[in-house]
């Protein structure tokens, strides 16, 4: 391998080259990155005494006074009776009747839960010990941890005085982790109650219980349990957020994917329905991936997530086309106006119509929205070109600096419409993805740039996240890096999977209520994090090198130690060990430091090896010191391996 290390002959790699793609698929957000623990939360509002359970906590009573407008319990649809799943009932027909009605105070979510309690601790029909009521198991069990505080919010209404217990318990209700009593003389108007609960035990499969032993009728709506500790208080689950931050993504594409399109337009992601106070968001059924989301992770939160990650937000929006229905170009204007409003929400002055809504949500400064994608995988559909052009010209006119992404692949032919970038998606077997490393070698250097917004090895080569898949993807990414004059961005897909609802295989980050790990594909991406904004050097593998080798070289500055490194990345996709001679040209004499250089390898004894909850670090990069780094090095590449040489200079 010959490397020309003279930076003047190199090219700057875009700051955005490697990023992430977040889609609401596999419960990535609802029941994942978004820290809300209640599934199908319900809403309520007013003024109330809250009394922490003295027996449990020896605490004093608190007075909380909140006045709000209400909503909630909508996952079963807006009609009654509505399915309250996964809420369940504690008690039987002789002790309580649980139903739904349309009495909520929230205009866009009229469904409330009505609980008619027939038993009473002071009557002949005595309530069972612990009372009767409802419980919510969260998204396949709530992770409640000792010493941590959880904020329970609920809206409640009753024509009688109430004495209701709110608790976090084990999945069978036997282990009490935290509890508080809500005692109020008058909740005849919807009343918002907020109760902080500190857990005195740990259980990864907990539930929220709302119980009472007092006869009467009580309504509940919008019930939420949020851990107090989320990333910067922004609602992102800390550990999952860290997995993203560790990738140092140059951009984040959101919120889909097919999620943006919907099977039907009526179920597509509509940003205006996802902003403002969470209680007022109607939520929606994502019909492509088949589950309800309360849209707590809404448009504002996605922009906030991008900002928190230091990543450029890329908003993919619906252009009037779903999987099964389309809006004619002549009627698309309302959809277009919706998107122009959305851009104003992100970027407008705090005194603009939509910028003021953002400011009211606590972010007066504009978000740095510089990319939008018109649709997802819609190229070739009847109205795509017409709709695209309407959006393209309107956005270009209003926001000339925004870079626009088309769904039509321009890698091997000229497009029939203007665009700044085009999407390129690839899901295929390992050999095919590896060989696509050369896909952009012959792409025109004068046209729009490529955005490889979804790539992954799929099928049997992928297992549920194999080393083989990661190696093929690494080869592909080296090819993209080498072509980063025409490839501006790339992201793996999908990013997250909650193992309890796997809609797509494989995925980069696997989690359940309390555990998580990165697949080899996740770790492979780590090798590329330093490339954003680095200098791509000329490097050539000698003609007789095996076709199963691919390499690239960059120089980059490590901001942590302020030092400059030359990084050479090589994939050996073959099954034999390779002796590789690396010759580095163009360095100042004696510029390689003797100490501080490293070698990092991703490999394993078996090509199909994977990580798991049991062995989360079975296939991860292993770093060691690189001995005797020099301009001429003989190195050994393990069979089926990825190696990064970081040479300190
Ligand atoms: O990444 C999963 C899906 O694959 C995306 O939603 C879609 O864009 C693609 O077909």
Tell me what pLDDT residue 78 has.
73
The token duo for 456 is 């992954």
Q: Where are the domains of the chain?
A: 2-12+534-648, 20-33+231-526, 46-227
Does the Cβ of 475 fall within 6 Å of ligand 1?
A: no
Question: Which uninterrupted H or E stretch holds 487?
Answer: strand 487-492
CA of 255 to the centre of ligand 1 (A): 11
Q: Which homologous superfamily is 46-227 in?
A: Galactose-binding domain-like (2.60.120.260)
Tell me what pLDDT residue 279 has.
93
CA 253 to CA 261: how far, in whole Å?
15
**Residue 180 to residues 114, 163, 209, 347, Cα–Cα distance (Å):** 21, 10, 11, 43
Q: Which atom from ligand 1 is nearest to the alpha carbon of 21?
A: 1
Ligand 1 pocket check: which of 378, 379, 504, 521 to mutate, most ligand atoms within 8 Å of Cβ?
Answer: 504
Q: Domain 2-12+534-648 maps to which CATH number in 3.10.50.30, 3.40.50.2020, 2.60.40.1180, 2.40.110.10?
A: 2.60.40.1180
CA of 258 to the centre of ligand 1 (A): 6
Which residues have CB under 8 Å from 27's CB, separation 6+?
139, 291, 497, 498, 500, 501
The token duo for 96 is 């309580």
The residue whose C-alpha atom lies closest to atom 6 belonging to ligand 1 is 257
CA 70 to CA 42: how far, in whole Å?
9
Tell me what pLDDT residue 559 has.
87
**Predicted-complex ipTM score:** 0.99
Q: Give alpha helix (H) positions in 258-370.
A: 258-261, 299-309, 333-347, 353-360
The owner of tokens 């072509």 is: 483
Q: Which CATH class is domain 20-33+231-526?
A: alpha beta
Backbone angles phi, psi at 460, to 5 degrees: -70, -25
Q: Which atom from ligand 1 is nearest to the alpha carbon of 257?
A: 6
Tell me what pLDDT residue 230 has.
98
Q: Which atom from ligand 1 is nearest to the alpha carbon of 377?
A: 8
Ligand 1 pocket check: which of 269, 288, 373, 427 to mutate, most ligand atoms within 8 Å of Cβ?
Answer: 427
Instruction: Report whether 388 contacts 374 (CB < 8 A).
Output: yes
CA of 207 to the centre of ligand 1 (A): 32
CA 147 to CA 567: how far, in whole Å?
44
Instruction: Report whether 635 contacts 568 (CB < 8 A).
Output: no
Series of mean pLDDT values for 10-residue runs along the chain (649 residues): 92 97 98 97 37 30 33 69 92 95 91 96 89 98 98 97 97 97 96 98 98 97 97 98 98 98 98 96 96 97 98 98 98 98 98 98 98 98 98 98 98 97 98 98 96 98 98 98 98 98 98 98 97 97 84 94 95 96 92 93 98 98 95 96 96
Region for residue 356 given its phi and psi (left: phi exceeds 0; alpha: psi -120 to 50; beta: otherwise): alpha
DSSP 8-state assignment for residue 279: G
CA of 378 to the centre of ligand 1 (A): 12
Q: Do the first three CATH levels of 2-12+534-648 and 46-227 match, i.e. the same topology?
A: no
CA 51 to CA 316: how far, in whole Å?
46
CA of 449 to the centre of ligand 1 (A): 21
């Amino acid at each position: 391998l010959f490397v020309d290390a003279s930076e003047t002959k190199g090219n700057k790699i875009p700051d955005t080259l490697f990023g992430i793609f977040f889609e609401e698929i596999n419960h990535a957000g609802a029941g994942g990155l978004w820290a809300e623990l209640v599934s199908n939360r319900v809403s309520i509002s007013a003024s109330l005494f809250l009394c922490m359970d003295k027996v449990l906590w020896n605490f004093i009573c608190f007075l909380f006074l909140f006045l709000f407008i209400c909503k909630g319990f909508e996952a079963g649809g807006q009609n009654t009776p509505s399915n309250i799943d996964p809420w369940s009932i504690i008690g039987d027909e002789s002790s309580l009747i649980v139903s739904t009605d349309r009495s909520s105070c929230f205009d866009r979510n009229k469904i409330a839960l009505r609980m008619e309690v027939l038993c009473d601790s002071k009557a002949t029909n005595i309530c069972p010990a612990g009372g009767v009521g409802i419980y919510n198991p969260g998204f396949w069990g709530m992770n409640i941890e000792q010493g941590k505080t959880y904020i329970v919010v609920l809206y409640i209404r009753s024509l009688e005085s109430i004495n209701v217990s709110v608790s976090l318990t084990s999945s069978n209700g036997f282990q009490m982790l935290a509890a508080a009593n809500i005692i109020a003389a008058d909740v005849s108007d919807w009343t918002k109650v907020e109760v902080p609960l500190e857990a005195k035990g740990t259980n990864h499969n907990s539930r929220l219980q709302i119980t009472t032993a007092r006869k009467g009728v009580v309504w509940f709506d919008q019930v939420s349990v949020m851990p107090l500790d989320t990333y910067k208080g922004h609602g992102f689950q800390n550990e999952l957020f860290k997995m993203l931050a560790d990738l140092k993504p140059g951009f984040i594409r959101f919120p889909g994917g097919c999620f943006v399109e919907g099977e039907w337009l009526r179920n597509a992601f509509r940003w205006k329905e996802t902003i403002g106070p969470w209680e007022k968001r109607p939520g929606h059924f994502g019909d492509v991936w088949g589950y309800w989301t309360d849209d707590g992770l809404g448009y504002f939160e996605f922009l906030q997530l991008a900002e928190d990650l230091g990543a450029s937000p890329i908003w993919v929006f619906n252009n009037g086309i779903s999987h099964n229905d389309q809006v004619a170009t002549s009627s698309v204007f309302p959809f277009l106006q919706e998107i122009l409003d959305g851009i104003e929400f992100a970027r407008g002055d705090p005194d603009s119509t939509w910028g003021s809504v953002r400011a009211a949500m606590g972010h007066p400064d504009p978000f740095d929205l510089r990319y939008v994608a018109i649709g997802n995988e819609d190229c070739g559909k009847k109205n795509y070109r017409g709709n695209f052009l309407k959006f393209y010209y309107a956005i270009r006119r209003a926001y000339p600096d925004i870079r626009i992404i088309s769904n039509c692949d321009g890698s091997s032919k000229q497009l029939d419409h203007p665009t700044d970038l085009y999407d390129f998606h690839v899901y295929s077997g390992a050999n095919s993805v590896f060989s696509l490393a050369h896909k952009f070698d012959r792409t025109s250097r004068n046209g729009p740039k490529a955005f490889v917004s979804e790539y992954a090895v799929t099928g049997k080569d992928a297992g549920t996240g194999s080393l083989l898949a990661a190696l093929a993807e690494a080869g592909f990414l080296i090819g993209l890096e080498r072509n980063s004059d025409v490839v501006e961005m790339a992201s793996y897909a999908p990013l997250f999977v909650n193992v309890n609802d796997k809609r797509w295989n494989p995925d980069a980050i696997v989690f359940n209520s309390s555990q998580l790990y990165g697949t080899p594909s996740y770790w492979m991406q780590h090798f590329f994090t330093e490339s954003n904004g680095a200098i791509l050097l000329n490097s050539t593998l000698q003609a007789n090198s095996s076709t199963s080798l691919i390499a690239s070289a960059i120089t980059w500055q490590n901001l942590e130690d302020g030092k400059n490194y030359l990084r050479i990345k090589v994939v050996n996709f073959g099954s034999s060990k390779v002796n590789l001679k690396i010759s580095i040209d163009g360095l100042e004499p004696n510029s390689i430091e003797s100490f501080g250089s490293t070698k990092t390898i991703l490999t394993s004894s078996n090509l199909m090896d994977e990580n798991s909850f049991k062995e989360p670090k079975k296939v991860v990069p292993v770093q060691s010191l690189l001995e005797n780094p020099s301009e001429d090095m003989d190195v050994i590449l393990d069979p089926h391996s990825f190696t990064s040489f970081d040479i300190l200079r």
